Amino acid sequence: MSYPSRPGRPERPKAAPENAPPGERAAPPGGRSPVARAALPAVLVAAALTLAACSDAADSQAPGATGRAASPVPTPTWQKVTGAPRTVPAVRDFRPADGRGWRPSKGARIVVPAGEKSTVADEARLLGQDLGGMPVVWGDQPVRPGDVEVKLAGKDGKGVPQRPDNAPTGDTADEVYTLTARDTRLTLAAPTDAGIFYATRTVKQAVRAAGGLPEGTIEDRPDRAQRGMLLDNARKPFTASWIEDRVRELGDLKLNQLQLHFSDDQGFRIESDTHPEIVSKDHLTKDEVRRILRLAHSRHLSVIPEIDSPGHLGAVLDHHPDLQLRNASGRVLRGAIDISQPAAGKLIDELIGEYAELFDVPKGAAAYWHLGGDEYQALTAPSPSASYPGLARAARKKYGPNGTIEDLATGWLNDRQRAAEKAGRDRIEAWNDGFFAGTRVQADKNRTVGYWTGKEIGANDPARFLREGRKVVNLNDEYLYYVLGEPNQFTYPTGERIYREWTPAVLRHTSPVDVPASMTTPDRIPGARFAIWCDLAHAQTPQQIAQGIRMPLAALSQKVWDPRKPALSWADFRALATKVSGTG
């Protein structure tokens, strides 16, 4: 999280030209329909088709083709696709072979043996749209020269059990895919529709970058299971269409999470049926949220709701003043709820139940919830018990004579976690400053740490959490915080800095966390999110934000997908990212 009262830090160089001041960078393209946004530029497709002139050679059986004899059709001839596949993020493994590779060609089709009702049907349709309207055919069809075959298959080439359609993934094993270009045909195979989706993103990008894919086989999977973006749409409202555009962008970069921080002191931005009084005038309707969720699930993104508590509740407490926290002199602390009052927990649990139902996930999929937990003002005072004697008394009453306000705050989050779990959430997260050392009451052992800052007084070293056996998601505010207006010595993060310096193990400041390497593996640090915080909401327009985050997101996608040192220079990576995004 970000907060105006946080201490300063040393200056560092301002952002590189990719994030130049609003007046010095070009505005992004104007609004377009979803079809136009997703499809490759007509000029690019036309160029690919021109290269794919046809010869009179007879059809030959392709790898993975169905048993039915294929009708003789001309084999496309085109200029050979050379070099390794060019994508963002880079593919993990490519085994080249002799041949001309694959390009989109006139008369080519996408063949889906599993049929129109299979879980990969929507991925196939999307790929057809991305390739300029390539038709999709279903069932037991011959795979002809120039065609693309899309199939679910395990490593042994056999079929795999069905998962729920468009289920967000919970493990990198669900995101593996193989892509083979051979004899003018292209085969996309994966054990899940998520893997197929990522294979289609590789095809889309490779066509944009080089017109097609070189002959050979790609075997690819991500390094980290959680890869995404956080959007603070509480301090600054964003339209549903703007969020949907970011969902498409995240999906194309093989990022798979969107955290929505929709409640804070400045606003509560989603329609509520249980507590309509708390909703800000400028908000998303539930139907708009459902539309965002449908799109996110089609791109295999998990959407993570966050209702931050016990701090950052100003918009809620404006309508429940009796639950506001007061200090010893009776002064109200804006945004802080009085956790000693049973009614406070009841209010937040009602909201958790309502939004857990709204942010539905496919059956069997990972169900995330973020509790918040950061910057509770009662615990930022030099002497919390003296400043908030009411909380201190409540802690002793509940936990014995040695009970502390930290115990009370830990118990509060434990109770909210139980409410989220009762509502069907099984992956619970909270900010690192919502965990306290040396308390009688311990934070639930299954709670993941969202680590953002080590700069505040008494901040926890991330090594502590890893040594405790917790999972830690990286939101390092040194690299991954895009804070509008750059308050408190924040500077807009650059893709170059992420690309050159950051890794998932750099949780705090600029160096890897000081623990054995076995504690920084993907099972312990499952990934990272790039956070957009709107502290000074009017400092940038939504269009400027979209432009400013483009290269940082591309760099993040590279570093969480492939653990190796990037092969490209920053200049080459930036040029490639611009080309494959269609913004160049």
Q: SS3 sequence, 63-101?
A: CCCCCCCCCCCCCEECCCCCCCCCCCCCCCEEEECCCCC
Does 529 fall in a domain? yes
Does 460 fall in a domain? yes
Does 48 fall in a domain? no
With cut-offs at 50, 70 and 90, classify the pLDDT of residue 154.
confident
CATH number assigned to the domain comprising residue 186: 3.30.379.10
d(CA 276, CA 319): 10
The answer on pLDDT for 566 being more than 80 is: yes
d(CA 417, CA 423): 10
Same domain as 311, residue 426: yes
Give the Cα-Cα-Cα angle 474, 477, 481 (nearest 5 degrees): 100
What residues pair up with 132 in beta bridges, in sequence order?
none
d(CA 367, CA 409): 24
d(CA 480, CA 501): 12
The answer on pLDDT for 68 being more than 50 is: no
Same domain as 507, residue 468: yes
Same domain as 343, residue 271: yes
Q: What is the pLDDT of residue 1?
A: 55
**Which domain-ending residue is among 203, 220, 237?**
220
The answer on pLDDT for 50 being more than 70 is: no
d(CA 2, CA 308): 13
Same domain as 214, residue 255: no
Percent of all residues in the chain with a pLDDT value above 90, rounded to a whole number: 79
Does 85 fall in a domain? no
Does 74 fall in a domain? no
- Give the residue among 474, 3, 557 at the shortest CA–CA distance from 256: 557
**Which domain-ending residue is among 220, 255, 282?**
220
Q: Which tokens in the block code for residue 336? A: 């802080």
With cut-offs at 50, 70 and 90, classify the pLDDT of residue 489.
confident
The answer on pLDDT for 530 being more than 70 is: yes
Does 9 fall in a domain? no
Same domain as 242, residue 212: no
Same domain as 260, residue 312: yes
The answer on pLDDT for 422 being more than 60 is: yes
Same domain as 492, residue 469: yes
Tell me the backbone φ, ψ of residue 12, rounded to 5 degrees.
-135, 165
Q: What is the pLDDT of residue 28?
A: 40
Same domain as 208, residue 123: yes
Per the structure, the count of domains in the chain is 2
3-state secondary structure 328-359: CCCCEEEEEECCCCHHHHHHHHHHHHHHHHHC
Structural domain range at position 161: 93-220
Does 188 fall in a domain? yes
Write the burial class of residue 481 (CB in 10 Å: 0-12 exposed, 13-18 middle, 19+ buried): buried
The answer on pLDDT for 33 being more than 60 is: no
Q: What is the pLDDT of residue 204?
A: 98
Q: What is the pLDDT of residue 27?
A: 39
3-state secondary structure of 406: helix
- For every residue of 460-476, DSSP letters joined together read PPHHHHHHTT--EEE--
**Which domain-ending residue is among 196, 220, 244?**
220
Does 12 fall in a domain? no
- Give the residue among 568, 434, 463, 573 at the shortest CA–CA distance from 525: 463
Q: Give the residue ranges of DSSP H helices in 159-252.
A: 193-210, 240-252
Same domain as 271, residue 169: no
Q: What is the pLDDT of residue 483?
A: 98
Would you name the residues annotated as active-site residues?
Answer: 375
Asked whether the beta carbons of 548 and 229 are under 8 A apart, the reply is no
pLDDT 10s digits, 86-137: 999 999 999 999 999 999 999 999 999 999 999 999 999 999 999 999 999 9
For residues 45-66, average pLDDT: 43
Asked whether the beta carbons of 408 and 394 are under 8 A apart, the reply is yes
Q: Which tokens in the block code for residue 101? A: 């590779």
pLDDT 10s digits, 364-411: 788 999 999 999 999 988 999 999 999 999 999 999 999 999 999 999
CATH number assigned to the domain comprising residue 477: 3.20.20.80
Same domain as 407, residue 300: yes
Same domain as 269, residue 191: no
Same domain as 255, residue 193: no
Q: What is the pLDDT of residue 509?
A: 94
